[in-house]
Amino acid sequence: MIGRLNHVGIATPSIEKSIAVYRDLLGAARIGERFVLPEQGVWVCFVDLPNSQIELIEPYGDASPIHGFLVKNPAGGQHHVCFEVPDIIAARDAMRAKGATVLGTGEPRIGAHGVPVIFVHPRDMGGVLVELMAEPVH
């Protein structure tokens, strides 16, 4: 069921400062433009790696779900990991059947890659917030 690691989500109070870390300290050369996902309450920027991506996420608006994370972790930090799945509905149903909590309404929403995603509660995933996303068209 689980597929390729698509990205690691990093919450940050400043995407610009985080870009500098990945560019200047780690040598990342392929960094996308910052864009907003207002329905999810975040600004997003992808840092392309040879085998995956880093998703930088910064709060957008007062209702951003990232605010709570940044209150606990003011400097930011790892927020989630994201795995691709061939069928998002089958993945959601399998998670529920196995007793895992799918966050929100449980209905997939469109994520930063333009494909449906769901999130599975950290308490069911060894303490890690897990995003499952439909396999993107490459």
Q: What is the DSSP letter of 53?
A: E
Q: 55, 58, 84, 131: which one is catalytic?
A: 131
User: What sign does the dihedral 82-84-88-91 (CA atoms) show?
Assistant: negative
Q: Which two tokens stand for residue 111?
A: 């994520």
CB atoms within 10 A of CB 12: 24
- CA 138-66-25 angle, to 5 degrees, is 65
Is residue 131 annotated as part of the catalytic site, yes or no? yes
Where in the sequence numbering do the catalytic residues fall?
Answer: 131
